[in-house]
């Protein structure tokens, strides 16, 4: 298992520089009190990991990985663990950076808002992972890219249709009722959706022919 | 004798191709050459052995254990080289070393780096900068560096120049002597197999048409070269296949000695695996 994670990390190590550059850009913009791009950083982790699927596919790694001990299981598991680990690490570093920026700029952005923004970003990133990875395992990276475009388009369309029929103030009232438990609820939802996505991907990969 | 690998009645159906009751046995400590033309079913058989393809029927036992039930245990002791399947090419041999340390219990970093040095492969260069031959060598080095008991090698010498091929073959032989390893080796380069293989298994159109010791094949089988008139005197039971060329008939016989005593045809040549493949595939049965 550790070996598969090491391989994934080795594959994306060249992208760490890009993440570093983005963090510097974020810090500069933050200190200058310009646009907040902190949400991009954890999201980049998923995009970088998706590129690792392309490399795997090009060199037929997946078939080779099955010839290794526990390859079918660990190949999928390592993708999820590496992505989650990277996302959380980048989210923590970005949050700390945001705190420093806010402190230096005498709390232009409240600490609470930083935490909420980062929490939402991590949740959104995990949602993308949840949807994308099973599609990638089923149809490959190229088709998955088209799939995610259609999916996002569909969600936006359905969302805007629902918004025109549902009174949003009622939804907000309901959410304020849950306010104290909102973070826990979202953490539970995130765990369930990522675990479900992992199980689906594992199942697809287990039955896959190469 | 204990067997390293047993394949019994392996069947797998695709739209335009199928493996039909593929069966053969590789005894422990032996090398088996797995031959056949392109698309004959060599890679499909190897993929089934490694469980890379699914929904096949039949029984595959490695070290006496079912390949699917004991997947993890078995794969700890198998080294593989697969045709065109390997690590992503942005990785370096050093990355492979670190990865494999976390995958194989018996991964031997020193052995891996010794082999890299022997094959002049730079440990910190990305695989994409390697030539085809160098990549193949790296795949072989990776397959060897965890002291496997069984090596499954699909075209391991393709893309290698004669010098590198000879180096690789020597390594296979030394491993066999030292570690009591068994090898299933599929190759188009049949001359390599003539030198090292103890057994030859021949697959054609998804069917095993022959699985024998190399000695028996190369010493017992023969090619009779004769005229059409002479050919007409040969009983159908005494030959396997024949090929008609412009001036003569080439007839594959299963026992040269017996043939000599029975017929008065003097030109009987020893067979090579290339001859065998050509005659078995292109020859006629009458």
- Angle at Cα B105 formed by Cα A10 and Cα B103, nearest 5°? 30
Distance from CA of B195 to the nearest CA of A (A): 28
pLDDT tens digits, A101-141: 888 877 667 777 788 888 888 888 898 899 889 999 998 88
Contact list, B101 vs chain A (CB under 8 Å): 3, 6
CA proximity to A135, closest of A157, A158, A152 = A152
Using 50 as the pLDDT threshold, list the residues of chain B that sit under it.
Answer: none
**Structural domains in chain B?**
3-215 (3.40.50.300), 221-282 (no CATH)
Place of tokens 């998706």: A50
Chain position carrying tokens 């526990």? A70
Cβ-in-10-Å burial (0-12, 13-18, 19+) of A192 comes to: exposed
The total of structural domains in chain A comes to 1
Rounded distance between C-alpha atoms, residue A82 and residue A88, angstroms: 10
DSSP strands (E only) in chain A: none
How, if at all, do strands B18-27 and B150-154 pair? unpaired
Please check the confidence at residue A35 and state whether its pLDDT lies above 70. no
Distance CA A129, CA A151 (A): 13
B50 contacts in A (CB within 8 Å)? 66-67
Strand partners, B222: B253, B270
Residues of A within an 8 Å Cβ radius of B: 1-7, 10-11, 14, 52, 55-56, 58-61, 63-64, 66-72, 207-210
Q: For residue A116, give its domain range.
A: 2-207
The pLDDT tens digits of the residues spanning A177-192 come to 667 777 888 899 999 9
Q: What is the mean predicted confidence (pLDDT) over A153-169?
A: 75
ipTM of the complex: 0.86
- Residue pairs between chains A and B whose CB atoms are closer than 8 Å: 95
Half-sphere exposure of residue A173: CA atoms within 13 angstroms, side-chain side: 5
* Angle, alpha carbons B197-B203-B204 (nearest 5°): 145
Strand (E) or helix (H) holding B200: strand B199-204
């Amino acid at each position: 298992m550790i070996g598969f994670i090491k391989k994934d990390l080795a594959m994306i190590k060249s992208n760490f520089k890009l993440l570093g550059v983005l963090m510097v850009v974020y810090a500069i913009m933050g200190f200058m009190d310009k646009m907040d791009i902190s949400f991009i950083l954890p999201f980049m982790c998923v995009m970088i990991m998706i590129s690792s699927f392309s490399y795997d596919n090009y060199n037929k790694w997946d078939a080779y990985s099955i010839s290794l001990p526990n390859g079918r299981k660990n190949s999928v598991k390592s993708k999820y663990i590496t992505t989650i680990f990277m996302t959380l690490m980048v989210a923590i570093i970005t949050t700390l950076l945001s705190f420093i920026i806010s402190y230096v700029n005498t709390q232009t952005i409240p600490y609470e808002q930083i935490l909420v923004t980062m929490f939402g970003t991590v949740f959104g990133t995990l949602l993308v992972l949840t949807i994308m990875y099973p599609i990638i395992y089923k149809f490959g990276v190229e088709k998955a890219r088209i799939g995610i475009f259609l999916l996002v388009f569909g969600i936006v369309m359905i969302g805007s249709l629902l918004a025109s029929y549902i009174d949003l103030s009622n939804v907000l009232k309901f959410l304020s009722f849950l306010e104290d438990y909102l973070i826990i609820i979202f953490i539970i939802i995130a765990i369930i959706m990522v675990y479900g996505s992992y199980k689906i991907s594992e199942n697809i990969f287990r039955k896959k022919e190469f | 004798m204990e067997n390293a690998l047993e394949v019994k009645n392996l069947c797998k159906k695709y739209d335009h191709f199928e493996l039909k009751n593929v069966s053969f046995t590789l005894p422990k400590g032996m090398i088996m050459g797995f031959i056949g033309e392109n698309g004959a079913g060599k890679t499909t058989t190897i993929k089934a052995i490694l469980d890379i393809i699914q929904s096949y029927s039949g029984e595959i036992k490695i070290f006496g254990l079912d390949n699917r039930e004991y997947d993890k245990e078995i794969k700890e002791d198998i080294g593989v080289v697969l045709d065109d399947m390997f690590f992503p090419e942005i990785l370096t041999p050093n990355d492979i070393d670190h990865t494999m340390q976390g995958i194989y219990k018996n991964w031997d970093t020193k052995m891996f780096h010794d082999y890299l040095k022997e094959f002049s492969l730079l440990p910190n260069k990305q695989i994409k900068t390697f030539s085809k031959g160098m990549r193949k060598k790296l795949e072989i080095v990776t397959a060897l560096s965890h002291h496997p008991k069984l090596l499954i090698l699909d075209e391991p010498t393709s893309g290698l120049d004669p010098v590198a091929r000879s180096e690789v073959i020597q390594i296979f032989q030394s491993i066999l002597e030292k570690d009591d390893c068994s090898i299933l080796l599929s190759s188009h380069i049949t001359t390599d197999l003539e030198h090292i293989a103890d057994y030859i298994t021949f697959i054609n159109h998804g069917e095993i048409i022959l699985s024998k010791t190399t000695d028996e094949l190369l010493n017992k089988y023969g090619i009779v070269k004769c005229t059409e008139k002479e050919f007409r005197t040969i009983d159908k039971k005494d030959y396997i296949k024949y090929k008609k060329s412009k001036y003569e008939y080439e007839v594959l016989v299963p026992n040269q000695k017996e043939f000599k005593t029975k017929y008065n045809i003097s030109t009987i040549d020893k067979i090579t695996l290339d001859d065998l493949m050509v005659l078995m595939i292109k020859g006629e049965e009458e």
